[in-house]
Structure 1
Amino acid sequence: MNGARARRVGRLSYAFISTDLAQQVTCPPLPAPANGKVTACQVSINDVCSFDCDNGYILSPSNQQRKCQPDGSWTGSDVTCLPCGQNTYKAGPGQCTRCPADTHTTGTASMLVGCICNDGLTGPGGGPCQDVNECSRQNGGCEQSCENTRGGFQCKCSIPGYKVNPADRKRCIVEKQCSSFTTPTNGGIVCHHKNDTNTDRCQVKCNDGFEHPVRSNQFEECGPATNFKWSYEINNIPIPACVEQYFPGVIVDAEIAYFVASCDQLTDQQKQDAKNAFLQLLRGQGVCLENGRAVCNVTDLWIECGEIDLSGGIQKRDASSSRVLKFKFKLTTDQKPVRTMNCGRFCDGQAVCDACFTNHVQSTVRKVTAEQEKLREVFGTQAAPDARPNPQPRPGVSTTSGAGVAPKSFNRGITAFRSNLARNFNRVIPSTSGQSPVRPTEAVTTAAPPRGMMNIGGLVLMPAPTGLQMMSDVKMACETGMEKKRDMCVPCTPGSNLPPGGSRCEQCIAGMYQPEAQKTSCIPCPAGKTSPRGAIGCA
């Protein structure tokens, strides 16, 4: 055996290993672990090998050294490098530590610098991290408002009535909004929406030739301030329809006196018959007719017994008065709807203007004046049979009808008319001057019956000379229940009224109502019911 020697002692023998062989015993080389390395290592007996892992990895087991033993083996077991988990970093050879606050890792096997700031924060790896104000850049992409938070932001809906859209949290959707505005009949609305307050404001506009006689508000509003109800809904006052505008009609008061026997003893039937005959007489004479078409109306006809001055305006000893039957009435013209007046001829295309109104007034007054002249032709001065055909009034003497006669001729005419009637109708006509009644057997001067004379079943009515009186000047007037607005007539709408003597349509007060237009009063609600202001019914 090379390098060795043997020795026999008695029956036993011993082998001695040479010193050279003992010095040649070594341990096998140790490989570097995956994701690690051997830092210092010899393979001789008692030599120690150290290990280290790459960044983000730690040793397992945590013992970092292995020793070569005399038998040529290594102490311990194979070394493994394990990665630090998500959101942790390698703090030492065998220690993984959680990332600092507001940081995270994008994977495993990280060092401290791999702990980066969370979204919405900025700073170096491992911190510290500072907040980023996302709202400072394009409002964070929010549609309405942006609220910055640490590490993030929130989009919010700052306009009342909106909420965040759950499908896109940067946008807002409508949660509350106003109902559709009620468009009035014969009109429309002009509305404006304020985006910043989610408020609607509408103004009622009537069509040409229509108007609102009663409007408490110039505008109607709906939005957060009204809890998304229209102001007219809160006040429980519906938007009234636009009512038609009219140019006013014309009114003139007239009176015609008739001689009649025993005026105060006329029966109600005789009075009614007299009114019917009078209206028929007017139609027969063409009053308020032009080419067969009505141009005015005879209205408010009533009769009464009264006195007529027979002096012709001059007081003398032989002058006296006579009891007569007076027919009182009005000549009126209908109101004209503005939309039918073709005002564009005068108004440069506008719906209405002063020039159009003036033309209407002038035209209407001309028509009424013409009808007044017809009345004067029929009921004006009745010439006596022995008088001139067209007696002239005395200087300084005039009547409302524009005609007059001398007193003597005037009285002679009365006597002649009375005698003529007595002869023709075999009636005794009472004297008007204290003289004896004129009888049919007396010789009288025959005169043609006056144009305005009426015979009603034997009851003779003879127009008194100068018995026509125009009791008022021509005046413009609106019908009952209509308000005059800018020279036009507008009917009061349902829920309002025009009290007698009033000048403006007024809304019915609470507890009263009016379902119809053009009325002069409101109706109290039945017992147990009530109504708001301007109501058309009770509940």
Structure 2
Amino acid sequence: HQLIGGSENADECAEGSDDCHIDALCQNTPNSYNCICKPGYTGDGKQCEGKFMSPNASWAFVSLLPLIPCFPAVSVCVCPDVDECLDNNGGCQQVCVNTMGSYECQCKDGFFLSDNQHTCIHRSDESCAVNNGGCDRTCKDTATGVRCSCPVGFTLQPDGKTCKDIDECEENNGGCDHFCRNTVGSFECSCQKGYKLLTDERTCKDIDECSFERTCDHTCINYPGSFECLCNKGYILYGLTHCGDVDECSINNGSCEYGCLNTQGSYECVCPPGQKLHWNKKDCIEAVKCLPNGKPAPRAQLVCTKSGDAEVCSLSCPSNALFLADSENYTLSCGVPIQPDPLAPPIKQKAKFKIKDAKCHLSPRTGQFPCTDDCQVTFVNLKCDSSKKRRRGRKSPSKEVSLITAEFEMEMKEEEASDSCNIDCVRDKMRQKLQIAMRTLRKSINKQQFYIQFSGTEYEVAQKPSRIPEGADTCSTGQVFQDGKCVSCGAGTFYSGEQEQCVQCPPGTYQDMEGQLSCEPCPSTEGQGIAGAKNVSQCGGQCPAGQFSTDGFRPCQLCPLGSYQPEPGRVLCFPCGGGLMTKYEASVTFRDCEAKVHCAPGHYYNSSTHRCIRCPAGTYQSEFGQNYCINCPGNTTTDFDGATNVSHCKNQMCGGELGDYTGYIESPNYPGDYPSNVDCVWTIIPPHKRRILIVVPEIFLPIEDECGDVLVMRKSAVPTSITTYETCQTYERPIAFTSRSRRLWIQFKSNEGNSGKGFQVPYVTYDEDYQQLIEDIVRDGRLYASENHQEILKDKKLIKALFDVLAHPQNYFKYTSAESKEMFPRSFIKLLRSKVTRFLRPYS
């Protein structure tokens, strides 16, 4: 077939300007060219079709060769390869290369193959204007022809045209500290859980979870990639980060002989009328019982004298004194409270004294006040409270005021009555004597002439600022200045006013509290104990566990069969109950009692019925063979009975009305597993002309429950109201969205099936004038496309900073440009900046 066209003497085939089919050959002619289909093809040269396969018969082969050996038993005929290059060089202008079943044309150096795949074009004739110069990406015209190049993240292939993505992760992990993920034309670093990617987008840094608000209820310890919460003494951990009070009274009655009273962080044993607590704070003894050495209890002594016009009072405290102090207050108890006697009740007097321009502070005083027996008091409770009172007028400085509350108690004895002065007469005289002492005390306090004697040192009760050297660091009594702060003297020591430092308790004494001014004598007269004893048990001489005595000290007796004692220094042993016997004498635990059955964790042994009973809901038992269950800490409870661990105790509190500029909602017991059968409802009512933005960093709801646990956010409680968000599955990919209604009704319901970590969802309210901008940001897929961006929405500090600016735009100036670059990745800043600029200058 002949095509008429082209310019005179032009070689269209060589120039590649012919219009021949890819399976046709181009033959140049004077003033024109011919297109001829290749062997094995039919057509007019512009369109060529193969004739090897008949369209109607799949196994009909038509061969151009005279002989093709095919045998009847063979279902497929094997045809030899045709070397197309033998026939007119395969139609190639320069080089023809035969391949199995086909062939290809190639060009010599300085030429490149045209689009018809047969003719060659000289490189000096190519141009970026034609087919981008054959370049895959960027084309540039140069004096020697076109030059192809590739963008960052790609490499130019040997053909000089094609660009191939570079896998940066193959070399040195892409420079990433932890994980490297290759992307088209780039790569992305990410970090292990518990680490944060820095703004260099390579380095991973440990997240200090302890720097966040509300990470732990009490003490937080940060570890590389993790953290741990610890609770104060008397509290136990639940829900991974929360601390609840331990109900020690549920643990075998707190090991108290009689009654047990639980308190926050501690507990107290109580005794019946006519008895008092033993020094071990567990057993009860007769109230009139004398100390081991037979001496009466030391008394406090109030001494007031007049020297000229000055009234001076001094309070001398015995050794059994209690001192508690902080920066602005202290409480001092001297002596032992009197056990009420109906025939001769004690005389009590209470008074308050105000000292102007003074601060509560016990300061050591040189020189001691002489002691007399003028006024002995059995018990004194002295409390000093400092507070600043603002004077009238805005610019007037605050005024320091110290208020001292003193309670004195004097003991009445029947034997002091006589024929000339009966018991009422004695009472009147003693009350009058105490009232006179109180009046004198008031005068001495007003003139700052009131002193307290403690363990051989005398202290001033309240001190005016003029007595404190300017610039001096002053700590409360019982504290010393260390490492730039005031620290209380620890247990096993006391504060010495003479030495102005913490001193170790000498042998034969102990101190189990902090910030005290003296040490208590050990109850035993035999064992001297150790220096720095922190409790009575370190005094030495007590009966060991499994033994007892009348005073808790040696000589001791073994606990008889059928009883046990787990603690040292006790005056009794606990019976096994129910007629049970122990395997041997001196048993130390109930598990030594020969129970009829050995109870598994989650159960307790009932000594009356001799059966194992499941721990009721709200209690747990993690050990074998116990006769009690422990109450769940704080306000937590369990989802079921028979709980075996404190982790089964969960806080069920949730819901409420929210209206602040920022806040959060979280599943009950978060970050621990949420309880079953809860129904939490929150309502977010933003201030006037403000809208709500929600960020869900991650949410954990088990899909196995078939949507039994659901979080839904909508306009109101009506099911048909506008819904903003609803899910019943786990999503670790964050999402941000604006509320579709001005207020939000949020509900979280769980069934009694599987449980999970739940969620903590922060929210912020913003000015409705920014609605278009906020929606533009949160609906942009680039906000979530990068793992780095996703981590921003999970980072509590960064979310707080973003919310701070959204809630109060003027706070933007708190974050300088340099700080922002250190906080957020460049790509994130670029994304936000472009949107804010377009919002503020829409027509620029």
> Shared fold by TM > 0.5?
no
> Could you tell me the TM-score, scaled by structure 2's length?
0.19
Structure having the higher Rg: 1
> Could you tell me the TM-score, scaled by structure 1's length?
0.27
